[in-house]
Amino acid sequence: MNRFILCLAGLLIFSACSKKLAIFSSKSSQLNLNNLEYDNLSMKSKIKYKDENRDLKATANIRIKKDSIIWFSLTPGLGIEAARGVVTRDSIIILDKIHKEYQVLKVSDLSEKYHFDFDLKLLESIIIGNLIWPITDEDEIKKEDGYFKVQKSDGDLSVMNFIGANSMKLEKLQAVSDTSKNALFIHYTEFLKEEDKILPSEINMQINYRSKRNKAKKVSKVQIRHSRININKEDLNFSFSIPDKYDPM
């Protein structure tokens, strides 16, 4: 359960060559992206996690204060809260409410495991479907088969963004590390409208990586389905504390 919770906390993830390509200005402002603007939001979600050893499900309540904190609560079944935690700019704190234990981790631990620069902003972007790596004047943009395809490099990452020509939202993303060959794939398959704002209701993410211990190939998959979303709710509570009776993991 602890490893499952950690994966959720951190994680609390193409077309025919013969067709003619249309080249556009690489300035993101000219694409009129439908990025979600918000100060805070809350959502209820169904989460599935799968790797070679686990196939787990949970209901999650998630609260986000932009660029500040992600608060989450996980209920695997029977209506019993199993875990609660927060992600800040530099740390992840997890309460195992079943065993009365807690764990404090660094966000950089996720980066070391998967060889991607995981941080609070990236996790926020994945959950709400905003563009993860901003478009710059150096990026190449092509229009093909209903997508604006934005190719860019970020450090040792080769990134391809697929922005829907109709939705003007990020619909697919693939990022591959040139050094480790680890890969992140994200597919937003359904979108909904809340208060004139468009955001994804289903997120499918896959991370391909090699074990640090024996270099074996590993695959982790996460599916998130948002069922209820509130944007800029005034009385949203982000309070969090570690009970005195909890022991460190």
Distances (CA, A) of 190 to 124, 125, 185: 18, 16, 16
Q: List the pLDDT tens digit at each of the 249 positions of the chain.
A: 444 444 444 443 222 222 223 333 344 446 788 889 999 999 999 999 998 888 989 999 999 999 999 999 999 877 889 999 999 988 999 999 999 999 998 887 777 766 667 788 888 998 999 988 788 878 888 999 899 999 988 778 888 999 999 889 999 999 898 888 889 999 998 888 877 788 899 999 999 988 777 778 889 999 999 988 899 988 899 999 999 999 998
Q: Are 9 and 88 in contact (CB under 8 A)?
A: no
Q: What is the dihedral of CA 35, 37, 39, 41, to 10 degrees?
A: -60
Q: What angle do CA 145, 151, 154 make, to 5 degrees?
A: 155
Say whether domain 2-13+19-230 belongs to CATH 1.10.357.10. Answer: no
